[in-house]
Amino acid sequence: MTADARGHSREGTRPDGVRLVHTAHLDHASRQAARSLLDVVFEGDMTDEDWEHALGGWHALAWENAELIGHASLVQRRLLHGGRALRAGYVEGVGVRPDRQGRGHGSAMMAALEGVLRGAYEVGALGATDDGARFYAGRGWRRWQGRTLALTPDGLVRTPEEDGCVYVFPLSAPLDPSGELVCDWRDGDVW
């Protein structure tokens, strides 16, 4: 085991330079750097709830020397589809510092998370911005064609504003992309 420029363990660093670390092992400085980075990337639209959604799973971190330039995370959620509750890996908080975009950092972070997806989940899912949709589609993520809903404390609620924005990464679960897809409840944006 070696240490990186910040003195952190590099045991989870991949050959592409992306460091995979679980939230439980994400040191305070790296956690703050990730949140600050996402505030810049999303131009102030990253809420406390959005950040909370990115915690509790795996983080793919792209470092350039001692500076964090990219973050993406994968958390477990339950999705309902075709009468089944699916163990889903849900991608959150994907961003690369604007002056470092277009250099493969986003692809490297997603490759790391997709490796975790393949080994642990029945399906991958994410909510894509208009800017990110082409990036995800180019990686094999498929836009969900059917209706989206959320299982809320008040029962099933349609989320029509999310229709066309949800992407799935098919793995072992049988999927009908024209059917309904239901996400579990959480505060803030449910997708």
Using CA atoms, how far residue 110 sits from 35, 135, 159, in Å, is 18, 10, 26
Domains assigned to the chain: 18-183 (3.40.630.30)
Block mean pLDDT (10 aa), the chain, length 191: 40 77 97 97 93 98 94 98 98 96 96 97 96 95 98 97 97 96 96 97
The contacts of residue 114 (CB under 8 Å, 6+ apart) are 124, 139, 169
User: pLDDT at position 65, please?
Assistant: 87
Q: Which amino acid is at 22?
A: H
- Which residues in 171-191 are b (16+ Cβ under 10 Å) and which e? bebebeeeeebbbbebeeebb
**Greatest alpha-carbon span in the chain:** 50
What confidence score (pLDDT) does residue 180 get? Answer: 98
- Residue 22: the pLDDT is 98
